[in-house]
């Protein structure tokens, strides 16, 4: 049985920490992957980095199918030590959100397609091409591994507004309203 983990949200400084590589893929790690996946599904979200559940290691779970209404169809991807090998000059702009920045959404420009190298949950080296929502999600999650958030892609004015609202809400014991 998987366990739902607690999400780390702004203004927690852990979100700014660079995650360390995973050295070994074993049963303990696979158990953690299952816990991450359950946490992501229940949030609900389409991507989650380990640092978002308090573990600053280079681990990502993604399921862009989870965005659809039909939650019966699941297609999880586990990326361990992911690395972008190539990204397109073509860019795309779409709205993004983040489980660590609840209720805030903004348009972000990113390369439209990419190739990513990673270790899978069996410990095998893999490569994958991605475009559209999957490419966006992979970039968003790898940003997390480097302590970067999607608001870092916005203007300083917008970013400061978001950070201030979360800091104030944390002080007041409330939730920020956008
Ligand atoms: Ni995020």
Q: What residues pack around ion ligand 1 (CB closer than 5 A)?
A: 98
Per-residue pLDDT of 121-145, as tens digits, reads 999 999 999 999 999 999 999 999 9
Q: What pLDDT score was predicted for residue 10?
A: 96
Spacing, Cα 26 to ligand 1 middle (Å): 26
Q: What pLDDT score was predicted for residue 66?
A: 60
Q: What pLDDT score was predicted for residue 148?
A: 98
Spacing, Cα 66 to ligand 1 middle (Å): 15
Spacing, Cα 151 to ligand 1 middle (Å): 10
Write out residues in the chain with pLDDT < 70, as ranges.
66-72
Q: What pLDDT score was predicted for residue 74?
A: 82
Q: What pLDDT score was predicted for residue 8?
A: 98
Q: What pLDDT score was predicted for residue 65?
A: 81
Q: What pLDDT score was predicted for residue 72?
A: 65
Spacing, Cα 98 to ligand 1 middle (Å): 4
Q: Which of 83, 94, 131, 141 is catalytic?
A: 141
CATH C-level class of 13-172: alpha beta
User: What does the domain layout of the chain look like in residue ranges?
Assistant: 13-172
| Active-site annotation holds for 141 | yes
Q: What pLDDT score was predicted for residue 73?
A: 72
Q: Kindly report the three-state secondary structure assignment for every residue of the chain.
A: CCCCCCCCCCCCHHHHCCCECCCCCCHHHHHHHHHHHHHHHHCCCCEEEHHHHCCCECEEEECHHHHCCCCCCCCCEEEEEEEEEEECCCEEEEEECCCCCCCCCEEEEEECEEEEEEECCCCCEEEEEEEHHHHHHHHHHHHHHCCCCHHHHCCHHHHHHHHHHHHHHHHHCCCCCC
* Confidence (pTM): 0.95
Q: What pLDDT score was predicted for residue 71?
A: 61
């Amino acid at each position: 049985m998987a366990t739902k983990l607690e999400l780390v949200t702004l203004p927690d400084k852990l979100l700014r920490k660079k995650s360390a590589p995973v050295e070994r893929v074993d049963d303990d790690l696979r158990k953690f992957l299952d816990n991450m996946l359950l946490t992501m599904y229940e949030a609900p979200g389409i991507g989650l980095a380990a640092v978002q559940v308090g573990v600053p290691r280079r681990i990502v779970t993604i399921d862009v199918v989870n965005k659809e209404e039909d939650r019966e169809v699941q297609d999880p991807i586990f990326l361990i030590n992911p690395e972008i090998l190539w990204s397109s000059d073509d860019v795309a702009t779409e709205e993004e959100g983040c489980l660590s920045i609840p209720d805030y959404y903004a348009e972000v420009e990113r390369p439209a397609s990419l190739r990513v190298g990673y270790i899978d949950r069996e410990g095998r080296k893999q490569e994958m091409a991605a475009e559209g929502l999957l490419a966006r999600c992979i970039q968003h999650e790898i940003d997390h591994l480097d302590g970067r958030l999607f608001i870092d892609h916005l203007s300083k004015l917008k970013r400061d507004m978001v950070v201030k609202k979360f800091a104030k809400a944390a002080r007041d014991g409330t939730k920020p309203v956008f």
